[in-house]
Amino acid sequence: MSRRKVGFWYHVAAVLAKPPLLLLFKRDWRGTENIPADGGFITVVNHNSHLDPFAYGHFQYNTGRVPRFLAKSSLFTDGFVGAVMRGSGQIPVYRDSSDARGAFRAAIGAVERGECVAFYPEGTLTRDPGQWPMVARTGAARVALQTKCPVIPIAQWGANEVLPPYAKKASVLPRKTHHVLVGRPVDLSPYYGRTMTQDLLREVSEVIMAAITELLVQLRGEPAPEVPYDPRSARARERRRTARAETEEDEGTT
C-alpha cells in the first residue's frame, strides 16, 4: 500500500511519538490488507486506555492511510498540542453545545474527500469491568449511513496493560505487546435508504460494536459478555441502590 501525503504536522507528531512507542510496545498487527488503499472510509475502534490513541495512531500511520480522529475540543486550544491537532486535520468535538453536530459534518466532509476518519464508537474509555466494548453512541452509524462509505472494524489490546482505564500509574515492565486485528468491512447495505431514526441508528451501532467485539474475542481468546455494558443503565441501577439504602437507613432511625 503506497503512503499518501500526510502533511507537515502529522510527520512532526510521528517523529515525536514513534520512538517512545517502539520502546514501549512490541507489535502484533494483523489484517492490514482490510484497510482500503483508496477512497474515504471510517474505522471503528475499541477504547480501553488513554494510551491507545497513540498506539492505534502508530498502527494506522504505518498503513499509509492516516486517521482523522474526533477528539474533545479542549485539545485544540493554545500550545503545541493544539497546533498539532489543528495542523494534522483532527476533528474537534464540542460536547453539550450548539457546535456538537459540526464534528459530524466535518467527518462526513473528510470521508467525501477520500480521507479516513477514526471513531471510538463508545465515546469514552470503556467502563466494562472486563474492559470489553460498551454500548455505542450513534455518531459512527450516522456518518456511515449518510456517506455509505466502508466501515472497518478494528480491535486492539495491550495499551491497557500498560495503563488500564482510569488508572493513574503505568506498568511499563515487562514490555507489553500492542495487538491489533482489522476486520473486513461491516455490511450495512441492508440499512441504506431507510429513514434515519434513532432506533435505526442504535441498531446500526449495535451491528458495528458486535463486529469490534468479535475481533476482540479473537485477540483475547475468551468469550465476551452476552450483553454489552451500558453506563446509563449502570448509573440508573446505582441510583436505585443508593435510594433504597437511604430509605432503609431512614426507616431504621425512625
The confidence band for 238, taking pLDDT boundaries of 50, 70 and 90, is: confident
Q: What is the pLDDT of residues 100-131, one digit of tens each?
A: 678 889 999 999 999 999 999 999 999 999 99
The x, y and z cell numbers of residue 213, run together, are 467485539
Q: Which residues face 181 on adjacent strands?
A: 30, 155
| CA dihedral sign, ordered 253, 240, 133, 114 | negative
The x, y and z cell numbers of residue 116, run together, are 479516513
The x, y and z cell numbers of residue 133, run together, are 466494548
Per the model's pLDDT, the better-predicted residue between 242 and 82 turns out to be 82
Q: 137 near 167, Cβ under 8 Å?
A: no
Distance between CA atoms of residues 212 and 205, nearest Å: 11
Q: 47 near 125, Cβ under 8 Å?
A: yes
The confidence band for 3, taking pLDDT boundaries of 50, 70 and 90, is: very low
Predicted pLDDT of residue 122: 95
∠232-238-241 over CA atoms, to 5°? 145
Mean pLDDT confidence for 158-185: 96
Bond preceding residue 228 cis, omega within 30 of 0 = no
The confidence band for 31, taking pLDDT boundaries of 50, 70 and 90, is: very high
Report the SS3 class of residue 117. strand
Distance between CA atoms of residues 122 and 119, nearest Å: 9
Q: Which residues face 178 on adjacent strands?
A: 27
pLDDT at 243 over 70: no
The helix (run of H) or strand (run of E) holding residue 35 is none
Q: List the chain domain ranges.
A: 8-252
* Phi, psi angle pair for 72, to nearest 5°: -60, 140
* Phi, psi angle pair for 145, to nearest 5°: -70, -35
Predicted pLDDT of residue 161: 97
User: Per CATH, which fold does 8-252 belong to?
Assistant: Glycerol-3-phosphate (1)-acyltransferase (3.40.1130)
* Phi, psi angle pair for 130, to nearest 5°: -95, 10
